[in-house]
Amino acid sequence: MKFIHTLAAAAMLAAVSLPSFADQPHMEAALQYLEQARAQLQQASNDKGGNRADAIRAVDKAINEVRRGIEYDRTHQKPGEQFRR
């Protein structure tokens, strides 16, 4: 029974903190996919004629741009404005 109460409390805590992370679900999803792509590229062998390294740099730039876009939107929303889908 104690486990169920702990689990319920953890779920409520996660739900309370969720909006700060999910206010832009599409941008957050894109960021996760890019981070996964970067991890896969890093695990690939090096013999790609420099293209693997170029791809990692491009993904790093994309990750940075998505993060900047998320931050821009968070700091430029009008009062009462909902996140954009």
More confident residue, 62 or 85: 62
3-state secondary structure of 80: coil
Q: Cα–Cα distance between 8 and 43 in angstroms, integer?
A: 38
Burial 39-66 (b: 16+ CB within 10 A, else e): eebeeeeeeeeeeeeebeeebeebbeeb
pTM: 0.66
- Per-residue pLDDT band for 28 (boundaries 50, 70, 90) equals very high
pLDDT, one tens digit per residue, over 41-72 is 999 999 899 999 999 999 999 999 999 999 99
Tell the burial category of 34 from Cβ atoms under 10 Å away from its Cβ (0-12, 13-18, 19+).
Answer: buried
> Residues for the chain: how many in total?
85
